[in-house]
Structure 1
Amino acid sequence: MLAQRTTLFNPSGTAAARAAAKQAADAGREIIDLTAGEIWADLSPDVRRGAIEAIDKGINRYTDTIGIMELREALAEKVSSHTGQNWTVDEIAVTSGAKQALFHCAMVILNPGDEVIIPAPYWTTFPAQILLAGGVPIFVDTRASGYVPRIDDIKAAITDRTKAIVINTPTNPTGAVYDVVTLMGIAEMAINRNLWVIFDECYGDFVHAGQVHHPITALAPKARPRTLIVNAFSKSLALTGWRIGYLSAPKQVINAVKALQSHTTSNPNVIGQHAVLAHLRRGDGSYESRLRDQLAAGRRLGLALLSSMKRVPIPVADGGFYFYLNLTEILKSTAKEPVARNADHVADRLLRDAGVAAVSGTAFGDPMGLRLSYGVPLGALEVGLHRVIDVLNSWE
């Protein structure tokens, strides 16, 4: 007999899409996999050397629960530079990826029944973790406002039980980037209503087309005591498998996170910590610049191809590395046919008929959306998008 909490969540929708792609490929089919939330790139030379040096030194023992002091000092310096404020090591925790940082946030600030506002479409893990912590996700639909929430819609969702709001910018899955007015409005609400802000900026290094990523505490310093900043190196250094993330938060939150982490994973991967530290100390920004150039090229190629879609608008794609397709019109036009009824059916048809794996928007609370990653090699992206366009344009 399983615990009741296991009924609160399903396997990650993005992980399920990756698994379906692998299953099809293992069966011998040629599959273009556009599901993964990662960049296909070689390791940073500094990360590689840092890891090898740590191994050669025989570094293999426990570290402090929330990371080695040298890495936390380097991260405090990084966050201080990023936000224009002074952050100390007491306000930094290193975690096993951003997911663990987000889970800790939910576990240390939420009581049973506390409500948390989440703009939708949302990353699939946000509501799952809130439910696990006993909280109640409250969704604010952003589809009619370019995937950036209206302040009035957020205000309308606030009740006496609201404890926090989750902000993810640039957003996964939509690629929208929150503007200054929206972020200032959210910060003001958090201050006036005594709310926590969980600020996920894991895609903050990747903004496009003249957009700017704004750290919320830099715009509204008074919101800092109630802001939990989540970040990781999974995207910015293409290190998804290494699981090194970090949380910047008030000291009392970090203390609680340290106690919690001591009973779950203990310290993050020690070799990964030293590898990232080496990059922070030695990196000159050239590796990050190459990643941005790679994604910019994928974005240009993809937008040019997707402009030929007949009944699907060109996606926002202002940040991150996803094309998020709004399938509303094409699904309306095929509603009387057995072609597709929602994004799940579209994703199934693309995998079956085009050999392209995509993530259905139902994983993100949107049955009319479809996420395609452009973090893949350009050749695979071009072939995959041509196949997607051919299939969708064939539906009348």
Structure 2
Amino acid sequence: MLAQRTTLLKSSGTAAARAAAKAAADAGMEIVDLTAGEIWSELARMIRQGAIEAINKGVNRYTDPVGTTELREALARKVSLETRQIWKAEEIAVTCGAKQALFNAAMVLLDPGDEVIIPVPYWTTFPAQVLIAGGKPIFVDTRSNGYVPRIEDIEAAITERSRAIVINTPNNPTGSVYDTQTLTGIAQLAIARDLWIIFDECYADFVHGDEAHRPIVFLVPEVRSRTLIVNAFSKSLALTGWRIGYLAGPKEVIDAVKALQSHTTSNPNVVAQHAVLAHLQRSDGSYEAGLRAQLASARQVGLSMLSSLTQVPIPRAQGGFYFYLDISKLVWSARRENVTRAPDEIVSALLTDAGVGVVSGSVFGDPAGLRLSYGIPTDQLVSGLARLTRLLNSWN
């Protein structure tokens, strides 16, 4: 007999989409996989060098549960620069990726029954970890407002059990970037209603066009005492498999996180810690600039190809590296014609009939969306989007 909490959970929908694409490829199909939340890139030179140096020095011992002092000091300098406020190492916890940072936050902040406000569409891990901690996700729909929550909708969702709000900008899956007015309003609301803010900025390095990433504690310094900043190097340095993230917040929260993490994973991978530290200390920023240029080029190519879709609006794709398609017209036209064409069926058809793997919006709480990654090589992106547009347009 399993624990009752296991009934609350399903496997990650994005992982399931990747697995389906891989299974189709293993079965001999020619698949273009647009499901993965990662960038195809070589390792940064300083990451490689830092890891090799650590291995050659025989670095293989435990560190502090929340990371080495040197890495936390480097991260404190990074966060200080980004937020224009002074942060100390004692306010930083190094984690096994952003997922552990989010898990730690949920476990040290939430009591059973506490409510957490989560804008929809959402990254699947947000509500899952709230449930693990005994909390209750409260969803606020953003689809009618360009995938950015309205302050009045957030306020209407607050009850006496509200404990926190999750803010993810640039957003996964939609690519939306929250504007200054929205973030300021959320910060003021959190102060007025005594809410924590869990601020996930894992895609902060990838903001396109005239948009800009705005750390909420930079905009409203008074909200710092009730904000936890979540970030990682999985996206910004294309290190998804290395599992190094961090949590920045008030010292008393980080102390609680340290105690928790000492009983879960203990310290993150020590070689990866040294590699990231080497990059932070020695990099000239050229690697990050190269990734941004790579994604900016892929984004332009993709938007040009997606402009030929006849029943799907061109996505704004303001940040991150996803195209998020609003397929509500396809869904509703199918219903009028008594044809089954929900997002999951569209995803299945794209995989079997076009050889393209994408993620259904149902994974993100949206019954009319598709997420496509453009972090893959350009030639594969072009091939995949050509197949996708042909199939979707054939349903006119």
1:328 is aligned to 328
1:231 aligns with 2:231: yes
1:178 is aligned to 178
RMSD: 0.8
Give, in whole Å, the separation in 1 of the partners of 2:271 and 2:310.
49
2:39 is aligned to 39
Give, in whole Å, the separation in 2 of the partners of 1:32 and 1:137.
34
Look up the SS of the partner of 1:334 in the other structure. Answer: helix
| Letter in structure 2 aligned against 1:203 | Y
| Letter in structure 1 aligned against 2:97 | G
For this pair of structures, how many residues does the alignment match? 396
Identity %: 69
Q: C-alpha displacement at 1:209, in angstroms?
A: 1.0
Q: C-alpha displacement at 1:332, in angstroms?
A: 1.3
Give, in whole Å, the separation in 2 of the partners of 1:341 and 1:314.
20
Contact 2:172-2:320 within 8 A present in 1 as well: yes
Give, in whole Å, the separation in 2 of the partners of 1:167 and 1:294.
26
1:9 aligns with 2:45: no
Q: C-alpha displacement at 1:367, in angstroms?
A: 1.4
Segments of structure 1 that go 5 or more residues without pairing to the other structure are: none
Contact 1:340-1:346 within 8 A present in 2 as well: no
Give, in whole Å, the separation in 2 of the partners of 1:44 and 1:393.
40
| Letter in structure 2 aligned against 1:170 | P
1:385 is aligned to 385
Give, in whole Å, the separation in 1 of the partners of 2:129 and 2:333.
36
Superposition TM-score, scaled by structure 2 size: 0.99
Q: C-alpha displacement at 1:316, in angstroms?
A: 1.7
Look up the SS of the partner of 1:29 in the other structure. Answer: coil
1:349 is aligned to 349
Superposition TM-score, scaled by structure 1 size: 0.99
Give, in whole Å, the separation in 2 of the partners of 1:282 and 1:343.
46
Q: C-alpha displacement at 1:337, in angstroms?
A: 5.0
| Letter in structure 1 aligned against 2:5 | R
Contact 2:330-2:341 within 8 A present in 1 as well: no
Q: C-alpha displacement at 1:341, in angstroms?
A: 2.5
1:190 aligns with 2:190: yes
1:260 aligns with 2:260: yes
| Letter in structure 2 aligned against 1:88 | K
Look up the SS of the partner of 1:335 in the other structure. Answer: helix
Question: For residues 192 and 25 of structure 1, do their structure 2 counterparts lie closer, same or farther at Cα, with a shift above 3 Å needed?
Answer: same
Contact 1:115-1:135 within 8 A present in 2 as well: yes
Contact 2:202-2:231 within 8 A present in 1 as well: yes
Contact 2:169-2:213 within 8 A present in 1 as well: yes
Give, in whole Å, the separation in 2 of the partners of 1:214 and 1:309.
32
| Letter in structure 1 aligned against 2:323 | F
2:135 is aligned to 135
2:285 is aligned to 285
Contact 1:327-1:369 within 8 A present in 2 as well: yes
Give, in whole Å, the separation in 1 of the partners of 2:383 and 2:283.
34
| Letter in structure 2 aligned against 1:317 | A
Q: Structure 1 stretches (4+) deviating beyond 4 angstroms? A: 336-340
Look up the SS of the partner of 1:208 in the other structure. Answer: coil
